[in-house]
Amino acid sequence: MAGGLYLTSSGLAAPGAKAAGKQAAEPAASDFVGSETCAGCHEEVSKGFASNPHTKMAQMHGKQGVTCENCHGAGKAHVDGGGDTSKIFNPAKATAKEVDAKCLSCHRGQHSNFERSGHGEGNVSCLGCHSVHASKEPEHLLKAAQPMLCFQCHSDVKPQFSMPFHHKVEEGAVSCSDCHNPHGSFKEKGLRASAQQDAVCTKCHTETAGPYVYEHAVVKTEGCMSCHTPHGGPNPRLLNRSNVNTICLQCHSPSQNFSTSEPMGPAHNQAAQYQSCTVCHSEIHGSNVSPVFFNTH
Condensed to tens digits (0 to 9), the pLDDT of residues 92-142 reads 899 999 999 999 988 988 898 898 899 999 999 999 999 999 888 888 999
**How distant, in Å, are the alpha carbons of 5, 14, 61, 90, 142 from that of 58?**
14, 20, 8, 20, 22
C-beta of residue 283 within 8 angstroms of C-beta of residue 290: yes
25 and 83: one domain?
A: yes
Which structural domain, as residue segments, surrounds residue 62? 2-93
pLDDT score for 200: 84
Q: Is the pTM of this model over 0.85?
A: no
What share of the chain has pLDDT > 70, as a percent? 80
118 and 181: one domain?
A: yes
Q: Is residue 292 part of a domain?
A: no
Q: Is residue 156 part of a domain?
A: yes
When the pLDDT of each residue in the chain is averaged and rounded to a whole number, the result is 82
Q: In DSSP terms, which residues pair with 214 in a beta bridge?
A: 287
Q: Is residue 295 part of a domain?
A: no
pLDDT score for 264: 60
Q: Is residue 277 part of a domain?
A: yes
Mean pLDDT value of segment 81-94 = 92
- Given 33, 62, 93, the domain boundary residue is 93
pLDDT band at 11 (very low <50, low <70, confident <90, very high): very low
